[in-house]
Amino acid sequence: MGSINPETIKYKPLHDEAEIKKRVQELGAQITEDLKGEGVVVVGVLKGAFMFTADLVRAIKAPVIVDFIGCASYSGTKSTGTVRITHDLSTDIAGKNVLLVEDIVDTGRTLDYLLRILSQRGPKSLRLCALLNKPEAREVPINVDYHGFSISNEFVIGYGLDLDQRYRELPFIAQVQT
């Protein structure tokens, strides 16, 4: 996309608030059913999944522990290819059901790394729920157990997703126009 000024971009709404709300309820119902009455540690990936995580936990009808993990992999609109943990969990996930909640699966590199790190900690189960899935951009295969919407290979913002830390507060998901 090249160099863009986050203050002067144009964007086009892709999924509005009502659509997101309906999809989050559907995901919560499916996750609740799959938990079969057991509890779950919901791990939101900072910062992009903070809003999705907050809505999703309210749609899961099971005992929930909420935690967050922070990692960095992007600068502007381009992946740097390297992933590092910037904030670790405060919960011991050994023997527990874990649901990793991510904003978007793009190349898959971030989740490949996070899923490996978390599985090494011995959870009872480890599932992945991503708000958005960009299958065309995948470079590393990832098993996405639940996803909200599939999108094409475009850069999106809003509902937690940023462009250089801006636009996370938008209540809808929008596509950045180049």
Catalytic positions, written as ranges: 106
Stretch of 29-37, 88-96, 119-127, 151-159 contacting ligand 5GP, by CB under 6 A: 151-159
The reply to whether 131 sits near ligand 5GP by the rule CB under 6 A is no
Applying CB under 6 A, among 31, 60, 99, 157 the residue interacting with ligand 5GP is 157
Q: Could you give the CA distance from residue 138 to residue 74 in angstroms, rounded to a whole number? A: 15
Which member of 161, 170, 173, 174 binds ligand 5GP (CB under 6 A)? Answer: 161
Report in angstroms how near the CB of residue 63 gets to ligand 5GP at its nearest.
27
- Which of 27, 35, 105, 114 touches ligand 5GP by CB under 6 A? 105
Residue 116 contacts residue 140 (beta carbons within 8 Å): no
DSSP labels for the chain?
Answer: -----TTS-EEEEEE-HHHHHHHHHHHHHHHHHHHTT--EEEEEEETTTHHHHHHHHHH--S-EEEEEEEEEEEETTEEEEEEEEEE--SS--TTSEEEEEEEEESSSHHHHHHHHHHHTT--SEEEEEEEEE-GGG-SS----SEEEEE--S--EEBTTB-BTTBSTT-SSEEEEE-
Least CB distance to ligand 5GP at residue 100 (A): 11
- 73 lies in the site for ligand 5GP, by CB under 6 A: yes
Q: Is 133 among the residues that bind ligand 5GP (CB under 6 A)? A: no
In order of 22, 70, 75, 147, the CA distances from 81 in angstroms are 33, 16, 10, 23
Q: Nearer to ligand 5GP by C-beta: 64 or 144?
A: 144
Of 11-19, 57-65, 89-97, 101-109, which part binds ligand 5GP (CB under 6 A)? 101-109
Name which position in 27, 35, 41, 109 contacts ligand 5GP (CB under 6 A). Answer: 109
Of the pair 28, 48, the CB lying nearest ligand 5GP is at 48
Site residues, ligand 5GP (CB under 6 A): 48, 73-74, 79, 102-110, 155-157, 161-163
